[in-house]
Amino acid sequence: MGRTTINEDRLFAAVTTGSWILVVILSLAGYVFGSGSFAAGILAGGILAIGNFYWLKNTLRRVLNLQPRQASNFAQFRYLLRLALVALTLYLLIVHTQIDIIGLIIGLSVLVVVIMGLSLYMLLDKGE
């Protein structure tokens, strides 16, 4: 069986795929070993973090096709809009639902864990 390598061209796909897998595993483990609200918190936080990551990628891709002056305004507006919507979503999740806040924090941290893991993998794989 061949070995799969992760290079810079496949990095976004590796991060998103790894994040989805980790969210599913942690949500199932949270349901089995914790409670339904804990698993829902992990799932909601993971979906929010991954959705935010996709939105950031889309914004950056569009910014690179604009003129420098337009790009700056567009990126600033999109950043503030994204930040406001994430903050509103977190507020609604914390105040108006019965999800566990610790689970939510764990779900929001999924991307960080995957990016750190991939960084270590690439560092050890290349020997740099």
Name the residue range of residue 113's domain. Answer: 8-120
> How far apart, in whole angstroms, are the C-alpha atoms of residue 128 and residue 120?
11
Query: Is 126 contained in some domain?
Result: no
Query: Is 2 contained in some domain?
Result: no
First to last CA, the chain: 26
Query: Is 85 contained in some domain?
Result: yes
Q: What is the pLDDT of residue 19?
A: 94
Query: Is 38 contained in some domain?
Result: yes
Number of structural domains found in the chain: 1
Query: Is 87 contained in some domain?
Result: yes
Q: What is the pLDDT of residue 114?
A: 94
pTM to 2 decimals? Answer: 0.85
Query: Is 26 contained in some domain?
Result: yes
Residue-wise pLDDT for 26-73, tens only, equals 999 999 998 999 999 999 999 999 999 999 998 888 888 888 888 888
Q: What is the pLDDT of residue 2?
A: 53
Query: Is 50 contained in some domain?
Result: yes
Three-state SS string across the chain, please?
Answer: CCCCCCCHHHHHHHHHHHHHHHHHHHHHHHHHHCCHHHHHHHHHHHHHHHHHHHHHHHHHHHHCCCCHHHHHHHHHHHHHHHHHHHHHHHHHHHHHCCCCHHHHHHHHCHHHHHHHHHHHHHHHHHCC
